[in-house]
Chains A and B, each alone.
Chain A
């Protein structure tokens, strides 16, 4: 494995991948299909860029129904904590 900082810099070195990051910064989350439709790239290229960005730790994916959505890891960490707390709150109230 190359070192993490190298991975971040090589991930950022590509203009297409910066477009993907820019889109996610503006829209919060996006699926691979959405990115393919919005950016001048093939689906295969989008998939490859998403893998590299994930490996560099710049984006994370989550399942939402049938699709996988991607988001920046640098944004919204406080909401992940709050929503975890909400989930635990509902569990306590539901007695489950």
Chain B
């Protein structure tokens, strides 16, 4: 599991907009973004190097939580919370493939 937590000097509304408005996502997450902001909605991200990934939105709680699953593998969850210094953003990305790889690695190491 990958987990990152940062405090951004911006309001929760501002951070939510940056995470959910395709035009704003195209300024920091990818180069071209399409996003249907509803559970079951389709999303696609294209990067300058030609890479493209598609995802399906799984959770939308206005200003609080956005989750999607990559169509190839894994899922991403964004959680927003008020903080004294702005907005605390938590990102969790999980992938079944990594879990397996890490378990194998861990069991190999345990035998050393």
Q: Which residues of chain A have a CB within 8 Å of any CB of chain B?
A: 12, 15, 18, 21-22, 25-29, 64, 69, 71, 75-76, 79-80, 82-83, 85-90, 92-94, 96
Contacts and interface: CB of A to CB of B under 8 A. Distances in A.
B1 interface: yes
Given A80-B4, A94-B9, A96-B9, 9 more contacts: A12-B109, A18-B110, A27-B1, A29-B3, A29-B5, A75-B2, A76-B3, A87-B8, A90-B14
Contacts, number: 74
A69 B10 contact: no
Contact of A79 (B91, B102, B105, B112): B91
A83 B28 CA distance: 8
Given A28-B2, A29-B3, A79-B4, A86 B28 contact: yes
B55 to A, nearest CB: 14
Interface residues of B, number: 26
Contacts of A88: 28
Contacts of B97: none
